[in-house]
A = this chain, B = another copy of it.
């Protein structure tokens, strides 16, 4: 009987699971893979995309091109019904739910980023999980250089030229190394920015960098990064973030407009809601990779807690969340699904790491391979060779190599594509004392106070000044409604404050479309500032 094998997730684990299962079961299985993106992204290359040495489209491969014979469904998983053996998904732009059945289900959905534990971090930090994140970081860094080039305010220049990365594991170290290289190679285009004005900082809670590697390599990496002018702050956590300030757990304040968070892995909400036993945010599986107590649900990759020995307890007793392990897990998984279909006994997952590598940017790296420690240029070369070898798809390998060639031969491009634009409706955090805007500024949106308090001062032109204290549920900046292009008032945070900022166009659209809002804001403006309400409707 043909078995329907359904795989959730298109990362390393999911991709290789689909390939191995198809290889092993052939026409005895109908293999389907569900992924939110229609491409496979090679995460270790993200820092290079962020630094512009590889362009985003060349760093990824369409899943359909990698998975001949597997049905690829681009969809968002909504829920899993283990009784009916049905997964409900929403496909692409469709609004109608679709039900997909399975005989065996493989959960390989990885983890998501959750920064909600640090106030302001989720709203102000960039992340490095998806391809879009890398693109956004690149455009963000160039935007800061452009801003530093033309600002006349020293404190703004200092904030714009301070770049921080939170976390000094693989992702953090590679990101900070590549980001520094992008900045160094771009500065020649910004004559008003001198190298001493640039500050690049990485903050790590542990007392060393690259905790995944032996201590001597971590020390080497640290020294190399410091030689290149990167500040390393160890033993410090992150306490809070705003659009212009990163505050550390020991009270250190870093004025910055760039925070990249490489911390905060958490289970995806869909995985969390599955009726499967979970521990530390991961699905508890047997050594044979089936979910505990289930014989047709399996899980591998970062979302699974895979014991590497009986009675596993310590962190080292479980499989680490690396591509290397995911690929091996996929192979074992396919064998066990085949065994399960045939009624044969399952085998436990066994694998020993062959080593680990990290790139430090600027043609330096660190590596431990088969017990040997390697550092510097050879390690960097090994890193590139290893990852090109690992990249699935021949044409992607070629594209990445050609990108590296182009990058080596020409200047780093400082093109700032779109992609760094903030959402039209977003939360913004301020510290007590922060200026939110001042008279004469471009009127860019309307603010509603979610928590905290602000002070609004507005002169009448004759030396008289209105001073208002506004708190939770109050709003300001709505003068836009009566044609305010430049602010007439100055607003400062009195306490630590969180606001919802709705941009100008969206606000005007909303007021236009919802009569309740128009009536309310017109009345509010009249009462507060004596401004006459709008005579009619804004043309649409």
Residues of A at under 8 Å CB distance from B? 37-39, 52, 55-58, 60-62, 64-65, 73-75, 90-98, 131-132, 142-143, 146-147, 150-151, 189-190, 395, 398-399, 402, 406, 409-411, 413-418, 423-425, 427, 437, 440-442, 444, 448-451, 473, 475, 486, 498-500, 502, 506, 509-510, 512-517, 520, 540
Contacts and interface: CB of A to CB of B under 8 A. Distances in A.
Contacts of A540: 427, 450-451, 498
A151 B500 contact: no
Contact of A55 (B55, B90, B92, B395): B55
Nearest to A156: B94
A65 B38 CA distance: 35
A425 to B, nearest CB: 5
Contacts of A415: 38-39, 57, 60-62
B517 A517 contact: yes
Nearest to A93: B147
Contact of A95 (B94, B189, B417, B437): B437
Given A473-B515, A475-B514, 6 more contacts: A39-B416, A64-B414, A132-B417, A424-B506, A425-B506, A500-B512
A92 B62 contact: no
25 contacts: A37-B416, A39-B415, A60-B415, A60-B417, A61-B415, A75-B150, A91-B150, A92-B146, A94-B151, A95-B441, A95-B444, A131-B418, A398-B410, A399-B406, A423-B424, A449-B513, A450-B512, A450-B540, A500-B512, A500-B513, A502-B510, A506-B506, A510-B510, A516-B520, A517-B517
Contact of A147 (B92, B411, B498): B92
B147 A91 contact: yes
Given A93-B143, A425-B424, A65 B414 contact: yes
A508 to B, nearest CB: 10
Q: Which 3 A-B pairs have the closest CB atoms?
A: A395-B410, A500-B513, A448-B513
A300 to B, nearest CB: 24
Nearest to A59: B415
Contact of A406 (B94, B131, B402, B498): B402
A168 to B, nearest CB: 28
Given A65-B411, A146-B92, A399-B406, A132 B425 contact: no
Contacts of A95: 437, 441-442, 444
Contacts of A414: 38, 62, 64-65
Contacts of A517: 514, 516-517
Contacts of A93: 143, 147
A406 B400 CA distance: 11
B441 A57 contact: no
A452 to B, nearest CB: 12
A52 B57 contact: yes
Contact of A413 (B62, B500, B506): B62
A75 B143 CA distance: 11
